[in-house]
Amino acid sequence: MFRFLLGRLAVLVPTFIGVSIIAFSFIRLLPGDPVALLSGERVMSPERHAEISHQLGFDRHIVVQYLDYLWGVLRGDFGMSIVTKKPVIDQFLELFPATVELSLCAIIFAVVVGIPAGVIAAIKRGSILDQLIMGTALVGFSMPIFWWGLLLIIVVSGMLQWTPVSGRISLMFFFPSVTGFMLIDSLLSGQEGAFQSAFSHLVLPTIVLGTIPLAVIARQTRSAMLEVLSEDYVRTARAKGLPTFRVVGIHALRNAMIPVVTTIGLQIGVMLAGAILTETIFSWPGIGKWMVDSVFRRDYAVIQGGLLIIAAVIMLVNLAVDLLYGLINPRIRH
């Protein structure tokens, strides 16, 4: 296991460097001058433009800029925002808990609903219930996030008025942030109605962000369960007269979880990408909205740093998924 871990860590290094090159290069292909955007509507003189470009290092060769940036990243310095004048890593750590909270709720929603739905569809293969579940999963997978989010806002928040439209909590509540997770902080605050407000603000973004992963997990679970249910050891367990719950829940599901866990790990990256749209639609103050705003402002340091940190998080999640294989199936621990 230790050799496997070292091997995977060795692969992560060139992957991370490759992501840094792509992020650094493609951002500079975007139209627009970040120095000119700093002046707003005012006209900047060529001398002032050259002075600011020199201060920000934009007048140096592109290779020199990248090497300096990479050296800073290796030292934990992801640069300084040219708009807010704050370190990128500080802004990321300030906003990341909001995205983590939303992503965790979305993946919990997807797993809690998707795995049982896939198991039921596999057990009832070919029935109307199977077709209904898989048809619903196909519709959920096919819906664009921006359309699904706006539809839920119009129906649930606008017509029915069951949930708030945007934000993380009502403006009538104010308390210091302890953990960065609004659900936990609202409980710690002790203010009546704070937790309910935070939970109601989280419902629609969770559903929107978790719909596509839910559909993928349900379909993968059904496929894996159908393959496992046809194995000899499952038929033997049934022939011994074991209860259906024990046969399906212990003998079949555990062995079917390997591809499902892989799918769940891959959906973490999908959700971090989907969070950009979801946070923008619901004005959720996380890294997704922060990145979108930075693109419009051509804040190179924020875009580069945000992409690199997100890529690092996704790579670590995939590494954790690989290590979980040994816990799920002891036969592959070596």
- What is the DSSP secondary-structure string of 262-316? HHHHHHHHHHHHHHHHHHHHTT--SHHHHHHHHHHTT-HHHHHHHHHHHHHHHHH
Tokens 């433009």 belong to residue: 49
Phi, psi of 87 (to 5 degrees): -60, 140
Helix, coil or strand: residue 80: strand
Helix, coil or strand: residue 126: coil
The band of 37, judged by pLDDT with boundaries at 50, 70 and 90, is: low
- CATH numbers and ranges of domains, the chain: 2-74 (no CATH), 88-329 (1.10.3720.10)
Q: Which amino acid is at 250?
A: I
- Which residue from 38, 65, 69 is spatially nearest to 52, judged by alpha carbons? 38
Q: At how many degrees (to 10) do helices 194-229 and 182-189 cross?
A: 140
Per-residue model confidence as pLDDT tens digits over 215-262: 999 999 998 888 887 777 777 777 777 777 777 777 777 778 878 887
Q: Which amino acid is at 330?
A: P
Q: What angle do CA 77, 78, 80 make, to 5 degrees?
A: 100
Q: Mean pLDDT over residues 63-74, rounded?
A: 84
Which helix (DSSP H) or strand (DSSP E) does residue 202 occupy? helix 194-229
pLDDT at 39: 63
Does 334 score more than 60 pLDDT? no
Pairwise CA distance, residues 199 & 240, whole Å:
47
Higher pLDDT, 27 or 169: 169
Q: State what percent of residues in the chain have pLDDT above 90.
A: 16
pLDDT at 68: 85
pLDDT at 205: 93
Q: Mean pLDDT over residues 22-45, rounded?
A: 71
Q: State what percent of residues in the chain have pLDDT above 70.
A: 91
Q: Mean pLDDT over residues 269-291, rounded?
A: 81
Pairwise CA distance, residues 328 & 264, whole Å:
14
Tokens 């719950």 belong to residue: 245
Q: Mean pLDDT over residues 161-190, rounded?
A: 87
Tokens 């293969």 belong to residue: 125
